[in-house]
Amino acid sequence: MAPALSGTELDLPVDGESALAAPIGEDLVLVSGVSDAMPGVVPVLLNGDPAMSMTASVFTWTRNGASAEAAIGFIAVIPVKVAGRVRVRSVVMRRKGQQPVRYTLIRRALSLETFMSMTSRDAGPEFSGVADGVANALLKGGASSKRLAAMLAMLSAAALNDGFVEVMGTLDTGEVFLQGWSSGLPSDRVHLLASHGQLSMGEFRSAAVQRDDLGGRGHGFVGILDTGGALVDTRGLKRLFFRGGQGWLALDIYDRCTHLAPTDVPAHIRDAIPRANASSETLMTLRRAGERFDGRDTVSTLKQPVRIGMDMVLELPKGGMLVCGWMLDPDNLVQSVKLHAGKESVAIDGIWTRLARPDVTAAFQQDAAFAQRLDPQQNDHGFMAFVPKLSAANDCAVYFEFSLDDETAFYPLKAVKSSSRRTLDRVITVLDPRSAAAASAIEAHVGPMLQALDHQKPRVVEHRDFGYDESAVLTGLVVGGGFESEEILTTLVLLALDPDTRDLPMILSVPAEVFGKIALEVQRLASFYRLGIRLVSADGVQDACDAWDAAVHATECETLALLSAGALPRLHGWFSVMERAYRARAGKVLVSPTVVFEDNSISFAGTLLDQRERRLVDSFLGYPCDVIRGAEPIEVMAGSPACCLVSRAAFQDVGGFSQSYLSIKEKVRDLCLKLRLAGTPSLWLPEVEMIAADVVPADANLPRTRLTQRIDHWSFDRRWSLLVSNMRGTE
């Protein structure tokens, strides 16, 4: 007998032989029908298969006016403990002392909403008790998402309102503070089910608070809901369910509920504690919550000799945070230090690198609380730590949490977002290149931070053409300029005086800051020497590689002669020699000349693979250039950072220069290895010589330069060491 339809609604089958079902996930099914009697627990057999014998929990109601054979309606909660998916077609219920009853499922599975609507109409006022029982059975069976959704539906139908939540807010640790009133909410400990788009279970520790405005209808409460790590969006919180003496009850959210910011919650709890009545354990939970971070610096008010200061807190756009500062703790009282960003936290005292800070020691020598405790020889008060992926999303609070023996202290931090490589200048200033700690800091913090930076490629802002025309040629001469205007202009003059290069289309790429300073002079030189120049203004340029990277997008020339401003040809005709070598390889090669210092010693004569140590080395570095006289061109592992000839398509196919390095040398090595793997080797031409100043200018910060080299070596080795060690060298 098919179930009757009431309008468009489905009715419960009442023939005592048919039933309808709603699956809950893949391991549970709700079955509803009618009978003359049904016990609370009954063995069941699914599909007549002895291997599918289960035990069901049954919840019943009396069907007024029905015949004796259909006097009882029921919902059976049946676990389906079999492997794989099973379509239940029939259910046999073995009632003790009575004949088994076989039910045929006469329709395909119903949705939970349709199933509840059907049973609630049939059960009438008894449905709340039935739903209460089903919810309890679902709760005992586990906490899968499907079961929790079913529980929510049942609880929404069964639970009676028992009060309201009027104030709520999330603590920095993730627990939720709730304040309101209720009639049946037990004090101290109770399990709550929070409905916030999903259902989360948690332990609620609350204290009763006297409320004169309730007229004896209930009591106020303040408490902390701990959901065990499950995040609860308080603004999405809809209802809270708990088990009362007579069944499930619900706390609704007041329409004008006050939502506290995380830093406001502790003060609110502290105000409520004097009026709270609960067990000592619950009151201790509330006191500890009231001591959480509320935006204040409580380290500086500690009676113990512990102090902290910060040099920088940098947040990267794609996630990751670097903290650098000092902590003075001569008696080793601090047990742990956690870095918090919103609801995320990381213990950094296990990952940080301690740095020498004699300035901190000196500053506190006259402080009575520290003077007798400080050892002038022990200066490792500084620290640096990089925490990947940590982010202060939505302007959440960032702070340190210090755990001492008997108390907790907090120190607020101001994170500065930065994506520029110039950020590293500030980081490097706190490192001493002579210390072992510097190497540890680079490997553990500075290097990973550099890799995590949002490396924006240099981009063309604007360009101006002065007699420029590249339509009739295949090769363009790209001059990469830095911040030295005189160096750029001198290079242009020397190129103009060389018959080999004066007729080439020249792309002069410079930082945007320099563009306006030299534009008129470049125009004058182009007119005077009858040059064809495209002056490119590029944003994000810090060296010649950046300038080249931007310029590649400002030309359609098939071949690029990349020349660093400041690299000066020793003799005219250099370009023709390099181009012949390039064309002899059909353009499938990167060609580099010899580069010498001003004292005639070798700066670059090819980068080779040391066969014994399996690492890259610059051959003949520092030797007099006479040692390579008469040498033949050879393939090398990498070309020169001062000058090279390369295919524009090959350059672009490998992504150009990497932004993960700080120096030109490693950028060029990285590019050449990428080209080599893509089928474009590097060739060194001994007969062509360029003169370049030392890569370290006289006014450079030598300690910073050494640190930059160490950082780049770390980055290069991290990417290439394994591949290089397995490469075949070039002899």
Q: For residue 422, what is the domain's CATH number?
A: 2.60.40.10
Task: Confirm whether 301 is domain-assigned.
Answer: no
Whether the Cβ atoms of residue 124 and residue 144 lie closer than 8 Å to each other? no
- Dump pLDDT digits (tens) for 557-584: 999 999 999 899 998 999 999 999 999 9
In degrees, to the nearest 5, what angle opens at C-alpha 366 toward C-alphas 360 and 372? 90
Could you tell me how many residues make up the chain? 731
276 in the same domain as 370: no
Domain stops at, among 290, 322, 348: 290
Beta bridge partner(s), residue 388: none
Q: Which domain holds residue 278?
A: 159-290
Residue 33 resides in a domain: yes
Could you tell me if residue 40 is inside a domain? yes
Q: What is the CA radius of gyration of the chain?
A: 38
Q: What is the mean pLDDT of residues 280-295?
A: 93
Closest to 112 (Cα-Cα) out of 30, 9, 56: 30
Are residues 134 and 206 part of one domain? no
Domain closes at, from 402, 433, 452: 452
Quick check: is 152 in a domain?
no
Q: Is 698 in the same domain as 563? A: yes
Domain identity same for 544 and 517:
yes
Sheet with strand 416-417: strands edge to edge: 353-355, 382-387, 321-328, 307-315, 416-417
Strand pairing report for 615-618 and 505-511? unpaired
- pLDDT tens digits for 194-229? 888 777 888 999 999 988 888 888 899 999 999 887
Query: Has residue 341 got a pLDDT over 50?
Result: yes
Q: What are phi and psi of 109, to 5 degrees?
A: -55, 140
151 within domain boundaries = no
Q: Which of 226, 93, 80, 85 is nearest to 147 (CA)?
A: 80
604, 719: one domain: yes
Domain endpoint, select from 264, 290, 316:
290
Same domain? For 439 and 343 the reply is yes
Lowest mean pLDDT among 21-25, 267-271, 454-458, 587-591: 454-458
297 domain residue, yes or no: no
Nearest C-alpha neighbor of 433 from the set 714, 705, 717, 713: 705
396 and 429, same domain (yes or no): yes
Under a CB-based contact definition with an 8 Å cutoff, are residues 144 and 82 in contact?
no
Pair (182, 314) in one structural domain? no
- Asked whether residue 133 falls in the same domain as residue 164, the answer is no
How far apart are the C-alpha atoms of 672 and 666, rounded to whole Å?
Answer: 10
Q: Among 470, 471, 683, which residue's Cα sits nearest to residue 580?
A: 683
pTM: predicted TM-score of the whole model, two decimal places: 0.73
**Do 429 and 318 fall into the same domain?**
yes
CA distance 672 to 684: 12
Domain-located, residue 390: yes
What confidence category does residue 116 fall into, taking pLDDT thresholds of 50, 70 and 90? confident
pLDDT digits (tens, 9 = 90+) for 142-194: 667 777 778 787 777 778 899 999 999 999 888 999 999 999 898 899 988 88
* C-alpha distances out from residue 668 to 511, 660, 664, 665, 695, Å: 19, 12, 6, 5, 14
Query: What per-residue confidence (pLDDT) applies to 384?
Result: 96
pLDDT tens digits for 120-143? 889 988 888 888 888 878 877 666
CATH assignment of the domain containing 523: 3.90.550.60
User: Residue 300 domain-assigned?
Assistant: no
Q: Which amino acid is at 721?
A: S
Label residue 566 exposed, middle or buried (CB < 10 Å: 0-12, 13-18, 19+): buried
Q: By CB neighbour count within 10 A (0-12 exposed, 13-18 middle, 19+ buried), where does 657 fall?
A: buried
- Is 391 in the same domain as 526? no
Q: DSSP readout, 293-344?
A: --S---STT-SSS-EEEEEEEEE-TTS-EEEEEEEE-TT----EEEEEETTE
| pLDDT at residue 321, rounded to an integer | 93
Inform me whether the pLDDT recorded for 340 exceeds 60: yes
Distance between CA 340 and CA 173 in Å, rounded?
A: 9
Q: Which residues lie across from 511 on neighbouring strands? A: 538
Average pLDDT over residues 464-484: 93
Residue 86 has pLDDT above 80, yes or no: no
**Number of compact structural domains in the chain:** 4
Q: Residues 255, 256, 261, 266: is their CA dihedral positive or negative?
A: negative
Query: Is the domain of 513 the same as that of 406?
Result: no
Q: Yes or no: say if 675 and 644 are a contact pair by the CB < 8 Å rule.
A: no
Residue 233 CB coordination number (10 Å)? 10
